[in-house]
């Protein structure tokens, strides 16, 4: 029963549409009607700029972190990694945004921040370095997911290996169109780094 309760809480936390809220409250814009139509941080950066993009990124990360931290307050005997996965589902298929969400990169990172901050720090570093070199957010997300799996293997943490593998596979799946555009050299590059 504990798993059901905390899974629902995690899903609802993940469903909070940060990009839509920041766009409408701060800019009177629904970012789903612009750019890629996605409500995630990447489209927010593209449509609303660096400040809004950073706010949405942090909010999306914190959704994943909150989902893994809430059970601690109740001394719940649940796997916080598994509970965190429901925040990713909420972010990707949000009940508060007609089940059309983001690609779950930041929220996935937030789960790992809540459970293993060192792994999160390694992921952030790899993301920034890859982004600086490639200028592709999508490619940086994919590579960071793969690195998270490799580091989990090095840590010899079975739970982390399973969850990071699931998250990396999901991120890869969610970026399938981006991969095609990278191959065709039609994927947009960032211009602010």
User: What does the pLDDT read at residue 18?
Assistant: 95
Rounded to 5 degrees, φ, ψ at 60 are -70, -35
Instruction: Quick: pLDDT tens for 103-130.
Output: 989 999 999 999 999 999 999 999 999 9
User: What does the pLDDT read at residue 191?
Assistant: 80
What's the mean pLDDT in 132-144? 94
Instruction: Quick: pLDDT tens for 20-50.
Output: 999 999 999 999 998 888 888 888 988 898 9
DSSP state of 75: T
Give which of 50, 191, 71 is closest to 131, Cα–Cα: 191
What's the mean pLDDT in 71-79? 93
Q: What is the pTM of this model?
A: 0.93
Q: Are 19 and 40 in contact (CB under 8 A)?
A: yes
Q: Are 171 and 142 in contact (CB under 8 A)?
A: yes
Sign of the Cα torsion 138, 144, 145, 146 reads: positive
């Amino acid at each position: 029963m504990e798993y059901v309760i905390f899974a629902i809480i995690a899903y609802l936390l993940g469903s909070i549409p940060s990009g839509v809220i920041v766009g409408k409250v701060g800019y009177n814009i629904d970012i789903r009607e612009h750019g890629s139509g996605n409500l995630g941080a990447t489209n927010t950066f593209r449509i609303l700029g660096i400040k809004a993009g950073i706010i949405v990124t942090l909010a999306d990360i914190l959704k994943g972190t909150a989902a893994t931290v809430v059970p601690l307050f109740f001394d719940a005997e649940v796997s916080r990694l598994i509970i965190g996965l429901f925040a990713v589902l909420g972010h990707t298929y949000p009940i508060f945004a007609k089940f059309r969400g983001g690609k779950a990169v930041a929220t996935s990172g937030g789960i790992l921040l809540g459970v293993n901050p060192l792994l999160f720090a390694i992921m952030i570093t790899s993301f920034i370095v890859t982004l600086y070199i490639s200028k592709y957010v999508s490619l940086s997300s994919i590579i960071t997911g793969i690195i998270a799996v490799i580091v989990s293997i090095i840590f010899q943490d079975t739970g982390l290996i399973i969850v990071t593998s699931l998250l990396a596979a999901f991120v890869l799946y969610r970026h399938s169109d981006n991969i095609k555009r990278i191959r065709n050299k039609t994927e947009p590059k960032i211009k602010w780094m």
